[in-house]
Amino acid sequence: MNLIHTGPEARISTHSQAAERVAWVFYCIAAAGSTIGQIWVGVQTPPWPADLAWWWRAAMVTPFAAVIDLGGVVTSAFADARQRLGETAYGWRALSAGAVTTGVAINIIGHADVPYLAVVFGGLGVFAYSVWLLHSAARRRDALRAAGKLADTAPVYGLAQWRREPAVTRRARTLALASGYPLHESLDIARAQLRDERRRTALAQHVETLIRSRHADPVRAAIAATTLDIDAVAAALTAQSDVAGWARVINADLVPPPLPTADPHDNEPYTAPAVGPAMPPTDVLRRIPTNQTAYDRWRQLWTELATDPDIDLQTFAEQHGISLRQAQWIRSVGPTGLLNSPTPPAVRLAELARSNGHLASPATPAT
């Protein structure tokens, strides 16, 4: 049953076949031009008898000119066949290069009096041979790849990626060739591997230092550090590390101290500190409820959070039927002291403004 492929591979194969046909056309034209140039030189340069017609001269020179160009191709074909078998084929390749060099030299030297003809016919010979070499090399690689003797090509990462992350790109290319990862996935895996390796190397150095410090005798310390698989110990430490616990401890150290607030019901005047603690962002402050019931609910939740600072916010939010974002707001506002007063901050500010006369009456328009 014949299957008709219409995917990207089929289109690539079609384009490759079209390119090969065009390459053959260019090669044949260039090879014919090089041969014509050699025949031209053969007709004019040798000391032919004066009464010998030019077409007799061309007929006698043509086989030799054709053999020179054809010999370069034939010996190159033999070299290509031996290279497919894994040989270097230096002898065949040297014969091929020698034949082509002879043909190009005949064209250049024979037309030295006319630089245009020397460049055209010599260039055609070089061009024809270059096309043949590149074409045969491409077909050889395709044959080796089809036989499983050649690695697949790696993704093209681009010059900017190589310049920006040379180590990552080199590792990504190796991963793509070894495991078949696509471009972006190979880069992500390479970054993760290099990051883990750097962390594991640094940890291994500290582990070795710790192991050596447990022995006063430097010889025993060296034996212990050499006997143990330091990398394995570092990997086990990484796997057993309590990331969440350290995050909670560090977060507790980063909680700002409470901020004293002014309350209109207090008799003591409020004195602002010289340098106040960091306040929550403005968008979080706007979330503080102005409704007394909702505000009292926030105060109750903050009291529970303050008594157990290590509680997981997600668990806390689920226990009290609130969103995780709202629990984060309460934890951010609570340490500032804005939830200490029984009156919502917005209400307190409004009462302070009225008591200071700022809301007594609209300003008299200027005359």
| pLDDT tens-digit map of 311-326 | 888 888 888 888 888 8
**Contact call for residues 279 and 259 (beta carbons, < 8 A):** yes
If pLDDT is split at 50, 70 and 90, which confidence band does 180 have? confident
What is the token pair recorded at 278? 């960091």
Residue 281 has pLDDT above 80, yes or no: no
Mean pLDDT of 129-148: 82
Residue with tokens 């917005």: 346
What is the token pair recorded at 26? 């260019």
Task: Measure the CA–CA gap between 2 and 11, rounded to whole angstroms.
Answer: 17
**Contact call for residues 75 and 82 (beta carbons, < 8 A):** no
Mean pLDDT of 239-252: 79
If pLDDT is split at 50, 70 and 90, which confidence band does 52 have? confident
Task: Measure the CA–CA gap between 235 and 94, rounded to whole angstroms.
Answer: 55
Mean pLDDT score of the chain: 79
Nearest to 317 by CA among 335, 332, 334, 305: 305
Three-state secondary-structure class, residue 313: helix
**Contact call for residues 259 and 337 (beta carbons, < 8 A):** yes
Task: Measure the CA–CA gap between 320 and 332, rounded to whole angstroms.
Answer: 17
Residue 35: its H or E element: helix 8-44
Instruction: State residue 11's pLDDT score.
Output: 53
Task: Measure the CA–CA gap between 96 and 178, rounded to whole angstroms.
Answer: 36
Count of residues in the chain: 367
Residue 330 has pLDDT above 50, yes or no: yes
Three-state secondary-structure class, residue 364: coil
pLDDT digits (tens, 9 = 90+) for 212-243: 888 888 888 888 888 888 888 888 888 888 88
Instruction: State residue 167's pLDDT score.
Output: 94
Highest mean pLDDT among 10-24, 139-153, 222-236: 222-236
Nearest to 214 by CA among 225, 204, 205, 203: 225
Burial (Cβ within 10 Å: 0-12, 13-18, ≥19) of residue 339: buried
Nearest to 73 by CA among 140, 131, 144, 17: 131
Whether the CA torsion 269, 274, 278, 284 is positive or negative: it is positive
Q: pTM of the prediction? A: 0.44
Residue 239: its H or E element: helix 230-240
